[in-house]
Amino acid sequence: MSDAKQDFWDRVDDVQAGMLGLTSNGKLVPMAPVLREERDGKIWFIAKAGEEIVANTTGAPQEARFVIGDAKTGLWANVEGTLSLSDDKAVLDEIWNAVASAWFDGDEQDPDVRLLCFDPKMAGAWFNTNSGLKFFYEIAKANLTDAKPDQGYQADLTF
């Protein structure tokens, strides 16, 4: 088995969306995670001023949760950590992408752009090692041989 933490970061890098929310209110909203090229141990989100999650992190960092259920990457995770607003223009410049650009008229100079920084502390993660045809192969093999299918592995991560 590969290093679960490295596997986690590699897969998060390909996740298109997850559910982000503050622990205090339990409300989760869809958000697209972005990692920096030189990984810094944080998950970044580009959000819009006026969104509830932005307003609720304006005063101080907040305990938060990011939930991932992504069949494409085979990552299923409940990640707990701290969410805060960031004014780091260099990070925003680095992670700005076509998806974010579609939501803002003035690209990254739009005055409504907000950068959220999620600092993960721990996660329960399940890594599916099979996709598409491999999944069906494992099921067929299990039915023919009475062996259990290889469905991946689970890891509890501390960051």
The predicted-structure confidence for 70-99, as pLDDT tens digits, reads as follows 989 999 999 999 999 999 999 999 999 988
The C-alpha angle with vertex 10 and arms to 8 and 15, in degrees rounded to 5, equals 85
Question: Residue holding tokens 């490295």?
Answer: 6
Is CATH 3.40.50.880 the classification given to domain 4-158? Answer: no
Q: Are strands 28-31 and 43-48 parallel, antiparallel or unpaired?
A: unpaired
Q: Using an 8 Å Cβ cutoff, are 66 and 43 in contact?
A: yes
Q: Are strands 43-48 and 113-127 parallel, antiparallel or unpaired?
A: antiparallel
| Two structure tokens written together for 84 | 């805060």
Q: Using an 8 Å Cβ cutoff, are 83 and 61 in contact?
A: yes
pLDDT of 69 higher than 90: yes
Buried-exposed string 15-48: b where 16+ CB fall within 10 A, e elsewhere: beebebbbeeeeebeebbbbbeeeeeebbbbbbe
Q: Please give the helix or strand (H or E) that residue 78 lies within, else none.
A: strand 75-86
pLDDT of 150 higher than 90: no
pTM, entire model: 0.87
Q: Percentage of the chain surpassing pLDDT 70? A: 91
Question: Residue holding tokens 């607003």?
Answer: 85
Binning pLDDT at 50, 70 and 90, where does residue 132 land? Answer: low
The pLDDT, as a whole number, for residue 1 is 42
The 10 Å Cβ neighbour count of residue 110 is: 15
pLDDT tens track for 108-131: 899 999 999 999 999 999 998 765
